[in-house]
Amino acid sequence: MFWRKKIAVVSLKGSIGGGINPQATVRLLDGLSKNGKIRAVVLNIDSPGGGAGPSETLYMAVARLSQKKPVVAYFEGMGASGAYEMAIPATRIVAPRSALIGSIGVISAKLSLKGLLERWGINLTFIKSGEHKDMLAPHRELTKEEEMMVQKTTDELYEDFISRVSESRHLPPGKVREMATGEVFSGRVARDYGLVDENGDLNLAIEIASKLSGVPSHRVVYVSPGRSLLQMVMEPWF
């Protein structure tokens, strides 16, 4: 019957800000946190990550959810950069041995069209109220001072990332720093390093959620940020 307790499997595929809509995902996760019919959540993730801000927002949403009920993160093919950050507050993390995990690091980029504009004879005039207000605009290069400013911000975000991994995965900061080179690891190596808990498939992730919540593993409902909680709750409950 529809009132039976269930495990929700949330599909999160694509880049954060692309295939994964941060605002819709936060609404869904917060809704699942308050839904008494859902006793555990499995996050089915396959993502290369995304921007630092949206990734942190999703990290906080998963952290809130995991404080209320068991959350198992499963990396179907890739859990890199912001996607890995998003998942680390989960109660447990599962990934196939062949999955690509990690890419702990931060990158900042700026597009420069200065040479192209000069070649075409295009001149742009900016009226600004601060010396560095146009530092990320594409019409010019960064000054040395601005490069240092961007690097400082990038380093701050990097340290925050390391701190979250260390706290969530119960790993010494020094060990996380050794792994935080931006490289990705196979699921097997990620397990050896403590970045994931188990190597396995989605069925294993559901079984772990079942054991943590006491809900039989066949009582599963599949949801995504594009579907309403009403649609989810009104599905047949087996």
Amino acid 117: pLDDT: 60
pLDDT tens for each residue of 172-197: 999 999 998 888 999 999 999 999 99
Q: Where are the beta strands (DSSP E) in the chain?
A: 6-13, 38-47, 71-80, 92-95, 100-102, 184-186, 198-199, 220-223
**Catalytic site residues?**
81, 133
CATH, range 1-103+183-238: 3.90.226.10
90 and 73 Cβ atoms separated by less than 8 Å: yes
Domain positions in the chain: 1-103+183-238, 107-170
The overall pTM is greater than 0.95: no
Q: Could you give the percent of the chain with pLDDT greater than 90?
A: 62
Instruction: From residue 82, give the alpha-carbon distance in Å to each of 54, 69, 126, 189, 210.
Output: 8, 22, 34, 19, 27
Residues of the chain with pLDDT under 50: 1-2, 228, 230-238
Amino acid 106: pLDDT: 61
44 and 12 Cβ atoms separated by less than 8 Å: yes
Instruction: From residue 175, give the alpha-carbon distance in Å to each of 92, 172, 194.
Output: 20, 5, 10
Amino acid 234: pLDDT: 43
Task: Please state, in angstroms and rounded to a whole number, the distance separating the CA atoms of residues 142 and 140.
Answer: 7
Amino acid 2: pLDDT: 43
